[in-house]
Structure 1
Amino acid sequence: MQPVRLAVVGVGLIGVRHAELMRSHEGCALVGLCDVDPSRRAVADSFGVPFYSSVAELIERERPAGVVIATSNDTHAAVAEICARRSVDVLIEKPIASTLEQAHRIVDTAQESGIQVLVGHHRRHNPLIQKTRELLADGALGRLIGVSILWALLKPDDYFDVGWRREQPGGGPVLINLIHELDSLRFLCGEITEVYARTSSAVRGFAVEDSVSIALHFASGALGTLLASDATPAPWSYEATTGENPAYFRTHENCYTFLGTAASLAFPRMELWRYADGSRQGWKEPMERLAVEVAGADPLTRQLTHFCRVIRGEETPLIDAEDATKSLAVALAVQKSAHIELPVQPALVGGG
């Protein structure tokens, strides 16, 4: 079987990471890089592939079957349209877009052109997340009552040397980081029907938030809470606890807690707490802690494998444009709720 020809548009940190994965993946071949910044040509040279400043020219000359779009969020729709006009499937980095209007453009583009759109909410490909989804779906926890997420870490001062990270819209952790958590919650627990959020920028004083609290309501009737801050030395974040990215110091703590009528689950240590079968149940009674075994695998590599299979017609996207738009709507609802200091339903968030 011939390797799938792939290209990357947007040669920033995540674009380079995609290129590195393609170079080492036996199922695909990196055929070109594209960026509006001519200085990024050096990156293409290091990979030994052609460099382009035009997406259309890259596609015309290199004929990729798929393109990874890793440009700024507000350009995703325009790049996707260029690819769609040339019948090239795309993997779009998260979030799918900056606004719902732009996201709906991508949805419409996919429907009208027939191209496949996979959105890079890569945590859905993590075996830990997939096992948790399986446990919840199979009823191992009984009926889901609630979920609690703690996302706490310290971003260094030089992180904010990039100006847009200090500014609205989109520079704070809600759209950069917490959209991961919100998408995971939708994937694991079902649709989020209402959010009530408060934000604070009291630590740094930037225009963007440094701390967030969110109360969530799910269609199932389950409740959720999410407390987040990027201004505190703390071991409780998905990045630090899962070991998914070796660049982060791993703390081996838990960051998600799922509460059910039959059991509870601490993630990512995958500790299932319950009463022994046939035993007396109640708050004073002994409980057992079971370790759920999960084989590790790199989710970005699994996502790339999945994208190749989508291009070949062997699989359908794990998260397509329409699904990813719902996750964006939840994140925008969080921002709106914090602004108006009232609960907001994601389904009713406007698209401007």
Structure 2
Amino acid sequence: MSSLRLAVIGTGVIGQAHARRIARDSSCLLVAVCDSDSRCRSLATELNTGFFLDAEELLEQETLDGVIIATPNASHSALATTCLRRGLPVLIEKPIADTTEAALAIVAVAEETGVPVLVGHHRRHSSAIQQARTLLQEGAIGELIAVSLLWTLKKPDDYFEADWRCRRPGGGPVMINLVHELDTLRFLCGEIHRVYAQAGSPTRQLEVEDSVAISLSLESGVIATLLACDNTPAPWSYEATTHENPLYFETCENCYHFLGTEGGLAFPRLDIWRYDDPNAVGWQHPLAHHSRTTQQVDPLDLQLRHFLDVVRGDAESLLDARDAARTLAVAHAVLESIQTQQPVEPAL
């Protein structure tokens, strides 16, 4: 089987992560990286690959099987539609675009051309997430009633040296970070019908929020809460608890709790609490504790392997453009609710 020829457009932190994974995977070839900043040429030199300043030149000059787009969100739509019209499958970093309209433009071209899109909400590829989804779908805790999600950590001061992270649109934890939590909630528990959110920045006093409380109503009738703060030294975040990202200090806590009619599930430890004796049910009786184990594999590696399968035509995209547009619509509904102080139904 010949190696698939891939290019990465955008060489920020996540673009570099994609490029390095491609470079070390024998089933694909990193043909080139592209970035409008000439200082990024050093990555191409390090990985012994081509370098382009202009994406159009890259697409004109190189023969490719697929493209990874890891540029700022506002450029996703134009780049993705250009690739799709050339017949090139794309992996677009999350979120799919900066606006719902831009996301729908990608959806329209993808559905018109039939060229596949995979959007980089990489947690869907996590073995722990996949196992949690299986447990919920198989009824390990009965019928799901409610969900509680925490995302709490301390961003270092130098994080905010990138000015765009401090401003609207695009900055703030809702669009940068919590879009992951919202997509994960959709993937595990179903579509989100309505959100109500409050936010503030009492400590940093930036234009963007540092704390958010979101109440979510799902189409199934399940209710969920998501509490987030990025200015607290707390251990309850997906990144710290799953140990999937080596940049984060690792804790042995749980960050999500799923509450069902027959038990509770804590993630990512996959602890299940329930009554084992059906004749001894109620708060006066002891709960039994059961633990599950899962093999830890870097979800970005798994995502790349899946993208290669999608490019070959061996798999359907785990997260296509329309699915990702729904997650973006939920994130925008959260921001609208923060602004209006009213419940909002996502536009898609």
- Asked if Structure 1 and Structure 2 have the same fold, meaning a TM-score greater than 0.5 normalized by the shorter chain, the answer is yes
Could you give the per-residue CA deviations for residues 32-75 of structure 1, whole angstroms, max 9, x where no partner exists?
A: 00111111111111111110122222123221101000000000
Deviation of the 1:276 alpha carbon? 0.8
Q: Is the 8 A contact 1:125 1:302 kept in 2?
A: yes
Query: 222-231 vs 51-60, which deviates more?
Result: 51-60
Deviation of the 1:250 alpha carbon? 0.4
- Structure 1 segments of 4 or more deviating over 6 A? none
Could you give the per-residue CA deviations for residues 150-190 of structure 1, whole angstroms, max 9, x where no partner exists?
A: 11000011110110111011200000000000000000000
Q: Is the 8 A contact 1:55 1:82 kept in 2?
A: no
Equivalent residue number for residue 204 of structure 1: 204
Could you give the per-residue CA deviations for residues 57-98 of structure 1, whole angstroms, max 9, x where no partner exists?
A: 212322110100000000000111221221111000000001
Q: Is the 8 A contact 1:143 1:261 kept in 2?
A: yes
Equivalent residue number for residue 84 of structure 2: 84
TM-score by length of 2: 0.98
**What is the aligned-residue identity percentage?**
54
| SS of corresponding position for 1:346 | coil
Equivalent residue number for residue 236 of structure 2: 236
Counterpart of 2:140, as a letter, is: A
Deviation of the 1:254 alpha carbon? 0.4
| 1:1-352 equivalence runs, <5 A | 1-347=1-347
Q: Is the 8 A contact 1:150 1:237 kept in 2?
A: yes
Aligned equivalents of 2:202 and 2:333: distance in 1?
22
| SS of corresponding position for 1:14 | helix
Counterpart of 2:133, as a letter, is: R
Aligned equivalents of 1:222 and 1:252: distance in 2?
27
Which runs of 5 or more residues in structure 1 are unaligned?
none
| SS of corresponding position for 2:82 | helix
Counterpart of 1:288, as a letter, is: A
| SS of corresponding position for 1:347 | coil
Could you give the per-residue CA deviations for residues 292-316 of structure 1, whole angstroms, max 9, x where no partner exists?
A: 1211111000000000000000000
Deviation of the 1:279 alpha carbon? 4.0
Aligned equivalents of 1:200 and 1:160: distance in 2?
17
Could you give the per-residue CA deviations for residues 238-257 of structure 1, whole angstroms, max 9, x where no partner exists?
A: 01000010111101100000
Q: Is the 8 A contact 1:33 1:52 kept in 2?
A: yes
Aligned equivalents of 1:88 and 1:244: distance in 2?
30
Aligned equivalents of 1:120 and 1:262: distance in 2?
34
Could you give the per-residue CA deviations for residues 76-131 of structure 1, whole angstroms, max 9, x where no partner exists?
A: 00111221221111000000001001000110111122211000000000010001
Could you give the per-residue CA deviations for residues 224-268 of structure 1, whole angstroms, max 9, x where no partner exists?
A: 001000010100000100001011110110000000001110101
Counterpart of 2:134, as a letter, is: E
Counterpart of 1:29, as a letter, is: L
Aligned equivalents of 2:111 and 2:46: distance in 1?
37
Q: Is the 8 A contact 1:193 1:347 kept in 2?
A: no
| SS of corresponding position for 1:118 | strand
Aligned equivalents of 1:54 and 1:168: distance in 2?
27
Aligned equivalents of 1:108 and 1:142: distance in 2?
39
Counterpart of 1:78, as a letter, is: A
Q: Is the 8 A contact 1:21 1:301 kept in 2?
A: yes
Counterpart of 1:232, as a letter, is: T
Q: Is the 8 A contact 1:66 1:311 kept in 2?
A: yes
| SS of corresponding position for 2:347 | helix
Aligned equivalents of 1:65 and 1:55: distance in 2?
15
